A = this chain, B = another copy of it.
């Protein structure tokens, strides 16, 4: 990002903060809301349409069920928000659902939640970008005609931006999110004014179309109930991202939990208002959506055909309220697309963060555990982007088909998290004696129990209604993550067991002496430095070792050795096949066989270079030798580096890399108890 938007960003936000001032960057609520709400609010862009789509299977007449489904979604939203307000208060550390499930329900539940969340991050990217492209496409037809390609390009751009290290900025999030909210509210308000006050007739672009329903006569009984449940499941897409705030409590200003809980409530309120408003306006303007528009949407008596692109409901409503192609219409389409891309970007921050937490618990390679580590971050980003791109290509950037996969993971983590919270309160109630506190706990437990019940019910509904529509893909993904992480953890556990220092014999047989060997090929500076360093170590014996691959060169080395008056004996091993590794290994092994209690210390002068291809030209023999020596017991290998002039390049690169800012630091907040970057030291 620095290069792309450096100047506007600087103008807008002032100089980028160094991370040692992170402690000062706590978020006020008005900034925290857009930072965390871009994901849940953006789902208003697709969730209402999905409800209508599913209902259309039973014909347009089934649309009149949509307000009832909206009511059900609103009730669920309030339930989930109320539940997470309890989470936020009980777990202000930002561990989120994974921490709650892990602490209260055990490792398996925690890992299940983690797998669900990882799958969810991938889907957030795929769904948000596909939907964003569709919204953008409602204003610019070219985009929707090349949907998959555009979506992949946007994924690549987001990936590059994040790999370069775009520092997340609260204010940068605020503008598009507020634009989107203002746009949608403006649309709803203007729609209500035009419809109810001015009495205008507003007609969506698809108002005159008809739907060739699979069940034109309408459905009854079980089939109808099933369809309504499926529509409800789709509507639940509006709830995705609600849990984000529970990961971000540490980023809030004090009182952190209270502010986070209130932000959650405000976010829920805005989300349901927008959701209901869009659905009602869609009904009022006669929007027609079909699951398979090519065959089921009838335009002037003919099926729409494969050339027809179905615009998202929000853009159809905007066209009806503001007029197609007008300035407010384009503004809203742009704001919608932007907020959806921001929602995708949150997954780019969340995925590596969750990865680092899982690495701390040894479910992922340990080196990923550094918070904001560039390499760990890059690996996470690439995995996320790759998986999302595959989904986008396979599902042709069709948000409707991708959403079928989406909601499973969300509700798995909702449900397990809420069950965990019930356990949490049970445990605390067992020890708490203060009646006021007990009353609050009882109340919280009731809320979480209800939340667990509702989200669990929805999970079952989603699984039943969506399994064959694509939910199985998510489950497979979760299973894959779960399996890999379990295997990694098992490996680490086995190694830890192998390494535990519980063998008393181990400590008794101590090595007695060190025999040091300095590998020498010429009497140049690196060799002299290695000799000087080795001499400082005062091992019991010290000798220089050279492998004679060329009699002349060896003779010259011997001559130079004598001339320079080096007081370390030079041992020469002949190697007719010009091998280096084998003679050294054999020599070391013989030393060890002769004196089994001795340790051999091998000093290898190493060149430090700055360019990758220089690396190919140096150190390869040393590296190979080192690799083989590691398998020889009782040996330690010391690299004595010599920095060539070109290594300055690499040093500069490394410095630049160290100054890299991990994206997403704003939403994570400063670390508890850490006063910025200052490291306190304690000697023992």
Contact = CB atoms under 8 A, between A and B. Distances in A.
B647 A641 contact: no
A448 B585 CA distance: 48
A666 interface: no
Interface string A639-663: 1111111010011001000100000
Interface in A538-552: 538-539, 549-551
A495 interface: yes
A499 interface: yes
A596 to B, nearest CB: 15
A366 B511 contact: no
A633 interface: yes
A636 interface: yes
Nearest to A637: B639
A30 B511 CA distance: 59
A629 to B, nearest CB: 8
A450 interface: no
Contact of A366 (B360, B498, B620): B620
Interface stretch (A218-226, A367-375, A388-396): A367-375
A524 B537 contact: no
Contacts of A501: 523-525, 527-528, 564
B635 A638 contact: no
The A interface, classified by DSSP as helix, strand, loop or mixed, is mixed
Contacts of A561: 684
Contact of A572 (B624, B643, B684): B684
A533 B684 contact: no
A532 B651 CA distance: 33
B681 A572 contact: yes
A663 to B, nearest CB: 14
A84 to B, nearest CB: 27
A674 B617 contact: no
Given A539-B538, A642-B499, A645-B498, A576 B677 contact: yes
Contacts of A603: 636
Contact of A599 (B356, B511, B536): B536
A214 interface: no
Nearest to A603: B636
B507 A683 contact: no
A469 interface: no
B367 A624 contact: yes
Copies, count: 2
Nearest to A579: B370
A506 B551 CA distance: 29
B533 A636 contact: yes
Contacts of A511: 532-533, 536
A639 B630 contact: yes
A516 B549 CA distance: 35
A430 interface: no
Interface string A364-389: 01110111110100000000000000
A617 B491 contact: yes
A583 B658 CA distance: 12
Contacts of A369: 549, 578
A636 B636 CA distance: 12
Nearest to A570: B684
A524 B497 CA distance: 9
Contact of A506 (B499, B525, B635): B525
Interface stretch (A277-285, A325-333, A606-614): A606-614
Interface centre among A526, A639, A654 (most CB of B within 10 A): A639
Contact of A573 (B366, B367, B633, B681): B681
Contact of A536 (B360, B539, B679): B539
A616 interface: yes
Contacts of A373: 578-579
B539 A576 contact: no
B532 A510 contact: yes
A153 interface: no
A539 B601 CA distance: 14
A630 B677 CA distance: 24
A178 interface: no
A575 interface: yes
A275 to B, nearest CB: 39
A7 B645 CA distance: 56
Contacts of A677: 576-577
A651 B632 CA distance: 9
Given A500-B524, A511-B536, 8 more contacts: A365-B616, A500-B525, A501-B528, A506-B528, A533-B599, A571-B684, A633-B643, A636-B638
Interface of A: 19, 356, 360, 365-367, 369-373, 375, 488, 491-492, 495-496, 498-501, 503, 506-507, 510-514, 522-528, 532-533, 536-539, 549-551, 558, 561, 564, 569-580, 582-583, 599, 601, 603, 606-608, 614, 616-618, 620-621, 624, 626, 628-631, 633, 635-645, 647, 650-651, 654, 658, 671, 673-674, 677, 679-684
18 contacts: A370-B549, A371-B577, A498-B645, A501-B525, A501-B564, A506-B525, A510-B532, A514-B533, A536-B539, A538-B538, A572-B684, A573-B679, A574-B679, A576-B671, A576-B679, A582-B658, A636-B640, A639-B639
